[in-house]
Amino acid sequence: MRGELHRVLPRVARLPSGRAFSVVLGVPESLSPLFDGSHGDWIWQAPARSASFCGLGLVGAEMDVAGWRYLRRDLETFGDPGPPPSARLTAPPFSGATRLGLPKIVLRSGRGGQWLYLNGLRDANGAEAAEADWMRLLESAPPPGPRSGGRRERAPRPDFSSWRARVEEAVAGIKSGRFSKVVLARHMTVTSSAPFDADRLLRGMAETRQTGRRFKIPLQEGVVIADSPELLAERRGDLVVSHALAGTARRHDDPAEDRRAASAMLASPKERREHEIVARFIADALGELCSDVNRAPVPMVMRLLGLQHLWTPVSGRLRPGFDLFDVIERLHPTPAVLGFPREAARAWLERVEESRDGLYTGLAGWVDLDGDGEAAVVLRSAFLRGREARLWAGAGIMAESRAEAEWNETRLKMENLLRLIEESA
């Protein structure tokens, strides 16, 4: 691969100053163990039918959507004719613009092979300086961190008394007609005598064999890790898919009891109504951008570790003139993580001063130069900063909601990640 890189660098050197570029190198099967994607600033692990990424560094600063659209028109690609280069993306929880970053190094794996992308910006230092920077990043993968210890759990925020008051206030708002659903969240903070190892925790998530998207992404002075079951949007060509995920029941070790819990969830007017709010919202939003919008007539059951959810995929064919960012703008945040109607729910949450950090219920994902990509809702997540891990979970509040049941639901949603964090200590 080094020889192929050296054949390409003279062409990079002839680019005009300021031009962004990407060198694409196929990774031979024999070298796959050297690029296992387990260490990186940005890690995205998806089901086998999709693509997974491991990224290091960042070319310049993060950019907004307009900046990315300009860069993708200008970016020059050299080397192997693999899939197009990709950027990572994030969006904050309640509102705000999508942000994108082009990593200096990206390993992409998926159906058809593995590719290494060496990205840069042509400047006065020349192509050799870019090569030295890439080699430094490739050789600087950190060893596994120490096992954290001396953990202690702080009191949950809010405490149960405050949670009960907030749930009752939300139910009163629903019964008065202010909104039909609102989502409340709470967090738990775990501390340790040594910094948490995000890569070790991500590997622990992978061992649970969930079917969603696992990812790690830098944020402020820390890092977010998540094992999200909720796909906000996936684009492949003109096909767009979004998942309505709302309605929750616990799992049971006994298969018959587990099936009964799923059947009770499917038969519950509350759970079905909560789910229908989300599924209809997604179908209506995609209808503004897509033709041939389809949704299943009845929800299916998504079975996860400890929990099962009502789940309805919604798909459509994106009309000319629209892209993945238009889909994100229409859909995010869905009633599954905010409430409905959105503006009324948002205004109420702001009034009661509900704040969410660590990107919880925001978005993380990727997009490539062709416009294909994915965005997942940041759920089943933790925000790691040094010796502190903050776990988040939420529950959709409906007119029938009771504080204790919703509290227990959030506890179940934290349970798997909390266990992994405790086992890492």
Catalytic residue among 104, 131, 181, 413: 181
DSSP conformation class of 417? H
Q: What percent helix, strand, coil does the chain show, rounded to 5?
A: 35, 35, 35
**What are the Cα distances from residue 256, in Å, to 211, 259, 260, 271?**
22, 5, 6, 21
Note if 181 is an active site residue: yes
Classify 181 in phi/psi space as left (phi over 0), alpha (psi -120 to 50) or beta. Answer: beta
At residue 336, the 3 state secondary structure works out as coil
Catalytic residue among 230, 234, 274, 374: 230
Q: Give the C-alpha separation, 82 to 79, whole Å.
A: 8
Note if 128 is an active site residue: no
**Which of 413, 417, 45, 364 is closest to 246 using CA atoms?**
413
Q: Give the C-alpha separation, 348 to 368, whole Å.
A: 37
Pair 269, 327: CB distance under 8 Å: no
Please, what's the b/e burial string for 278-293 (b: 16 or more CB within 10 A of its CB; e: otherwise)?
A: bbbbbbebbeebbeeb
**What are the Cα distances from residue 330, in Å, to 89, 286, 363, 373?**
16, 8, 13, 16
User: What token pair was written down for 284?
Assistant: 């209506």
| Backbone dihedral angles phi then psi of residue 310, each to the nearest 5 degrees | -75, 135
* Catalytic residue annotation: 181, 230
